[in-house]
Amino acid sequence: MFDALYLCSGGAAWAVVAFKTRAWLGDRGNTDLGLTCVMSACVATGFLFSAPGVYRWLDRLTGVPNLSMVVLYSAVVVFAAGAFVLMLRWNSGTGAEGRARARTRSRAAVAVVAVTWAVAVLCFAVGRPDDVEHPRDFSTAYTGSPGVMTFLVLYLAIFGASLAGLGTLCPRYARQVGPSWLARGLRVLATGCWLGLVYCAGKLAGFVLSWAGHEAPWLSNGVAPLSASVAAVLVLTGLALPAVGTRAYAWRRLRRLHPLWKDVAAQAPEVAARRPAGAGRWRLTGLQRRADRQMAEIRDVQRGIRRYVESDTIDIARERGRAVVADERQLAAVAEAAALRRGLENRAIGLVPALGSDSVVVMAEDRVGERAPQGAAGGREQLPGGRAGCTCTGGVAELAAEFEHLARVADVYHSPLTDTVLTELRQRSATRRH
């Protein structure tokens, strides 16, 4: 049962690692993203070597009993080193001076962790556990071995310090970046860190109770490993959530805008001419870029058809819409949809009004109460600290609000209200011609 549980968790974890690594390969200047890739790989390695079958396989392969525990804990220590580097980068300021300070402090922190862990592994080697493998009860089987105990205490000190620091900083930065997938990921990551501290506390309490003559295997071999497993899942989820969430949001943008973009592209030769091969297929790659391109192409067409739209089209649409629509944002969407359809119709038949419209786009200030939806931050995955590629504020909120407006335009593009406005415009145009 434990083999199946840990191997399935490890497989899912390695899938997350592959996903994040692919993102980092397209953005190699994003150091924070690279660090989270390494940290995710450490969590995945921990799951893999927690499986008793894998644990025993490596021991048999190397001929060194319980060597798998060193490999497992080493992966956790590398995770801790990555956490220390992230914390130092977040707290070292911005600019060239801040980056230089972060590099210096990070090297020092990694060196301290490396030396401490080297001492711990040396203690493990000196302590020389017996030839019996203990994949499930390693910490309780050697409470009488000073070398192994030193190894375990140093491991818990490194791991616990990194969890405490990361668990403290993540909520603080989640408040700074505002409602977004990044903020959610940071909060989940913090929860995993604090639960990981329960694991450390459980192990240490088990040691103390054993030394005092009160064995508590239920604590060291039951509660502590369970809390560690759940904490690992939460940490991995927190690391993956910003990337997964932004891509899910981009997919939603594509799904909502696609009908409008498809109609516009069918009637706009300039869009169809530059349409890339395979653009109509629902691939799962480049979602953000494709969603942005669709928005840009719709706006390009709107700019190109202004002279084909009667100057009072938007005013007429607003006047007719007020009788049935109370929401100003919905009213703005109806007006823009009517203007877009009217411009495309007139261009198709070559009808140029005597007085064309200056714009067929409803300006942002006319969209009363408009704001970005929660979790709408997109673009490159970015952790706090002002590093390159941050897209958490400013332009991202404006882009998200623009998408919400265009999505409403898509929703009402073929609505009865829009049809009514267009029918009136057609009748008026026919009357003027006669």
Read off the pTM. Answer: 0.75
The distance of Cα 63 from the centroid of its chain, to the nearest Å, equals 42
Q: Is 405 helix (H, G, I), strand (E, B) or coil?
A: helix
User: For position 377, what pLDDT does the model report?
Assistant: 47
Residue 108 CB partners (closer than 8 Å, separation 6+) = none
Q: How far apart are CA 141 and CA 340, in angstroms?
A: 75
Sign of CA dihedral 91, 95, 98, 99: positive
From the list 174, 235, 175, the residue with the least C-alpha distance to 199 is: 235
Kindly list the domain boundaries of the chain, sorted by start residue: 1-239, 268-273+287-363+396-432
Amino acid at 124: F
Amino acid at 394: G
Which stretches of 268-327 are DSSP H helices?
Answer: 269-273, 287-304, 313-322
Structure tokens, 357: 């419209």
Q: Is 131 within 8 Å of 62 (Cβ atoms)?
A: no
Q: How many residues does the chain have?
A: 434
User: For position 384, what pLDDT does the model report?
Assistant: 55
User: For position 375, what pLDDT does the model report?
Assistant: 47
Q: How far apart are CA 53 and CA 24, in angstroms?
A: 32
User: For position 115, what pLDDT does the model report?
Assistant: 95
From the list 76, 55, 74, the residue with the least C-alpha distance to 66 is: 55
Q: Is 356 helix (H, G, I), strand (E, B) or coil?
A: strand
Q: Is 390 helix (H, G, I), strand (E, B) or coil?
A: coil
Low-confidence ranges of the chain (pLDDT < 70): 1, 129-131, 135, 269-285, 362-397, 432-434
Q: How far apart are CA 396 and CA 79, in angstroms?
A: 31
User: For position 386, what pLDDT does the model report?
Assistant: 47
User: For position 148, what pLDDT does the model report?
Assistant: 86
Q: Is 310 helix (H, G, I), strand (E, B) or coil?
A: strand
User: For position 383, what pLDDT does the model report?
Assistant: 55
pLDDT in tens, 251-286: 888 888 888 888 888 877 666 545 554 554 445 557
From the list 44, 49, 73, 47, the residue with the least C-alpha distance to 59 is: 49
Q: Is 362 within 8 Å of 337 (Cβ atoms)?
A: no
Q: The domain 1-239: what is its CATH number?
A: 1.20.1070
Residue carrying structure tokens 């943008």? 253
Q: How far apart are CA 277 and CA 398, in angstroms?
A: 30
Provide the 10 A C-beta neighbour count for residue 53.
12
**What is the chain's mean pLDDT, rounded?**
80
Q: How far apart are CA 392 and CA 386, in angstroms?
A: 10
Residue carrying structure tokens 């994040």? 20
